[in-house]
Structure 1
Amino acid sequence: MTHTADHLQLDLNGISLSIHCAGPEKGRPVWLLHGFPECWHSWRNQIEPLVAAGYRVFIPEMRGYGLSSAPADVAAYDVLTLCGDIRAAMDHFGHRQVAVVGHDWGAMVSWYLALLEPARVAALVTMSVPFAGRPRRPATEIMREASGGKFNYILYFQEPGRAERELDADVDRTLRLLMYYEQRSLLLQDKPADGTLFEDDMQAGALPDWCPEEDFAVYRQTFAERGFRGALNWYRNFERNWQVTEPLQGRKVEQPTLFLIGNQDPVGKLEAYTLKKMPEWVPDLEQHLLEPCGHWIQNEQAGRVNQLLLDFLARRFPH
């Protein structure tokens, strides 16, 4: 983080939201939204380049993570409520025009912020998770049919308490294994539906090059006290998300949009149809496939991501 960094704790939208800020006070605002199971520090490689380019960055710890509130109620994590946290924070800072950058679940929130705030969200950058309009039915229904009785990690996450028992038992092991899931294909395992995410003999090994121990310590601290329940609750709202987004049916993302994905990201395989349909729903779209690259794109390929991000912002969200 830069020497100009601030940490704020804001009471808004019924929760306490932790936000890290850096950059010139009058710089155009860029919001960086992290995914699962990550933290604000996931954007560590983007902060300095954005600040050096004159932007002011805002990096929340999303609801359920770190120092932000983690309500017990599963219904407190539907996508409109998650968007509401960021919209309320933007209101707090008086932001009338912003760029929003999201990865993984942060990308999902970013897509819906773009739909909900067509005037305020002036430019959009999403990574790993594509968009092709509101689905015709809840994604979990489609997953249950497609899985054919085989293990599906999102379906495994649905039952409150079950996944927590496994993931919370050893936070270090959980984070290390998830960081390596491209090699182990944790999200695409061929095993019975009643299995668990990890097998007893799975060894996480050394940390990946993109996450040395001093950075991993921030990830660890994010989940050390409360575990993964708040983060997992995001996954338990697919049906509710489908219901509450009905007013957005058929709406396209009209903002200039940059989409990045790694060639080894398992989400690319899981969302192949959505990727194919995305240009119909995001008319002003620039796409890049980064290789060799897995899911943790902004750190695995930080230099390339920063180059593409800064070039896009210079053209579509200039000072």
Structure 2
Amino acid sequence: MDGIEHRTVEVNGIKMHIAEKGKEGPVVLFLHGFPELWYSWRHQIAALGSLGYRAVAPDLRGYGDTEVPASISSYTGFHIVGDIVALIDSLGVEQVFLVGHDMGAIIGWYLCMFRPERIKAYVCLSVPFLRRNPKIKTVDAMRAVYGDDYYICRFQEPGKMESEMAEVGTAYVLKNILTTRKTGPPIFPKGEYGTGFNPDTPDTLPSWLTEDDLAYYVSKFEKTGFTGGLNYYRNFNLNWELTAPWSGVQIKVPVKFITGELDMIYTSFNTKEYIHGGGFKEDVPNLKEVIVQKGVAHFNNEEAVEEISNHIYEFIKKF
């Protein structure tokens, strides 16, 4: 993979696998989403590592070749941010450029909230800042808007989604989710897991996802299962409680936000209004740029490889 090296570091009581390219220069730290791995950033690691940056992407807690703690409560936002801060320390730097996608974007917002002094600038993909509503817990609010079949609501019961995924198999789950171009909130009708994200799973993979790519994902998720990744969602209500001291906080880090126009988050309830109507800028006063990619869906870091790499570089080189 074009000079990408792998090693394991000890962080916050667990062993974490990281992939990196570039020995010197400013650190660009990539945080993946669900159901992804460091591998989701392979193209950006290669690109930024060749441009004088030290590009680093971990398998987050519960994923890939990083340890998978057993208890649900080991996956709060504090645990994950603790892992990342320890990773930054292990790299021997004070600050990093941060890039996050999907659940990694949410962790990125927490990192900017809790330890802004460690982040030079943040390139956020897909998930804008989620303003905390002090009156209602996160999952309860999602259930009120989208109903019980909304994917995050369906992820809540321990073991339930895992057993449904096991019925259709790891390869089907990953192919189904990674290739989805369905807009609007992801709804999983009960008993029909495979029709949730992507009612029309293609027979052939899109040009940006090869059989080898899919096989890599499948090999890692067959080893770990999906529970670690699902446990992030199972802590949404607990995270809501734990972040009460930050209610109403503004994110002061410089931010560039990039989403696909077909992204399932972007096309969900009120998201466009929040991003373009002033709410996002109010919460993130240093929001410098919002990019909406034509014809691109949720996994924009893999679908629009060069465009995303260029957007990251054009932004971070200013600092």
Settle same-fold status: TM greater than 0.5.
yes
The aligned counterpart of 1:31 is: 29
The aligned counterpart of 1:266 is: 264
Is residue 2:306 matched to residue 1:303?
A: yes
Cα shift readout 1:214-250 (whole Å, capped 9, x = no counterpart): 2222211220112111111111011111111122222
Q: TM-score, normalised by structure 1?
A: 0.91
Q: TM-score, normalised by structure 2?
A: 0.91
Identity, in percent, stands at 35
TM-superposed CA distance for 1:306, in Å, is 1.6
TM-superposed CA distance for 1:181, in Å, is 2.3
Task: State the alpha-carbon separation in 1 of the partners of residues 284 and 130 from structure 2.
Answer: 8
TM-superposed CA distance for 1:168, in Å, is 3.0
Instruction: Report if the CA contact (8 A) 1:6-1:21 is conserved.
Output: yes
Aligned pairs (5 A) from 1:149-298: 151-169=149-167, 170-183=169-182, 187-188=186-187, 191=189, 194-199=190-195, 203-270=201-268, 272=271, 274-275=274-275, 276=277, 277-285=279-287, 286-298=289-301
Task: State the alpha-carbon separation in 1 of the partners of residues 313 and 133 from structure 2.
Answer: 31
Task: State the alpha-carbon separation in 2 of the partners of residues 229 and 57 from structure 1.
Answer: 28
Task: State the alpha-carbon separation in 2 of the partners of residues 72 and 176 from structure 1.
Answer: 26
The aligned counterpart of 1:17 is: 16
Task: State the alpha-carbon separation in 2 of the partners of residues 241 and 132 from structure 1.
Answer: 12
Instruction: Report if the CA contact (8 A) 1:77-1:233 is conserved.
Output: yes
After superposing the two structures, state which structure 1 stretch, 265-274 or 174-183, moved more: 265-274
Letter in 1 for 2:46: E
| Residues 228, 96 of structure 1: alpha-carbon distance in 2 compared, 3 angstrom cutoff | same
Task: Report SS of the residue matched to 1:134.
Answer: coil
TM-superposed CA distance for 1:198, in Å, is 2.1
Instruction: Report if the CA contact (8 A) 1:188-1:266 is conserved.
Output: no
Letter in 2 for 1:6: E
Task: State the alpha-carbon separation in 1 of the partners of residues 186 and 193 from structure 2.
Answer: 8
Aligned pairs (5 A) from 1:54-73: 54-73=52-71
Instruction: Report if the CA contact (8 A) 1:132-1:280 is conserved.
Output: no
Cα shift readout 1:49-72 (whole Å, capped 9, x = no counterpart): 201210001110011101111111
After superposing the two structures, state which structure 1 stretch, 58-67 or 127-136, moved more: 127-136
Task: State the alpha-carbon separation in 2 of the partners of residues 96 and 9 from structure 1.
Answer: 20
In the alignment, structure 1 segments of 5+ residues that lack a partner are none
Instruction: Report if the CA contact (8 A) 2:31-2:57 is conserved.
Output: yes
Task: State the alpha-carbon separation in 2 of the partners of residues 186 and 287 from structure 1.
Answer: 21
Aligned pairs (5 A) from 1:72-91: 72-91=70-89
TM-superposed CA distance for 1:211, in Å, is 0.7
Instruction: Report if the CA contact (8 A) 2:185-2:268 is conserved.
Output: no
Task: State the alpha-carbon separation in 1 of the partners of residues 195 and 260 from structure 2.
Answer: 26
Is residue 2:116 matched to residue 1:138?
A: no
Letter in 2 for 1:138: K
Instruction: Report if the CA contact (8 A) 1:253-1:282 is conserved.
Output: yes
Letter in 2 for 1:2: D
Instruction: Report if the CA contact (8 A) 1:30-1:98 is conserved.
Output: yes
Instruction: Report if the CA contact (8 A) 2:100-2:123 is conserved.
Output: yes
Task: Report SS of the residue matched to 1:86.
Answer: helix
| Residues 203, 120 of structure 1: alpha-carbon distance in 2 compared, 3 angstrom cutoff | closer
Task: State the alpha-carbon separation in 2 of the partners of residues 221 and 247 from structure 1.
Answer: 40
Cα shift readout 1:266-291 (whole Å, capped 9, x = no counterpart): 11122515434211111111110001
Instruction: Report if the CA contact (8 A) 1:168-1:227 is conserved.
Output: no
Letter in 1 for 2:317: A
Letter in 1 for 2:21: A
Task: State the alpha-carbon separation in 1 of the partners of residues 50 and 139 from structure 2.
Answer: 42
Letter in 1 for 2:8: Q
Letter in 2 for 1:98: V
Task: Report SS of the residue matched to 1:35.
Answer: coil
After superposing the two structures, state which structure 1 stretch, 214-223 or 123-132, moved more: 214-223
TM-superposed CA distance for 1:186, in Å, is 8.0
| Residues 81, 203 of structure 1: alpha-carbon distance in 2 compared, 3 angstrom cutoff | same
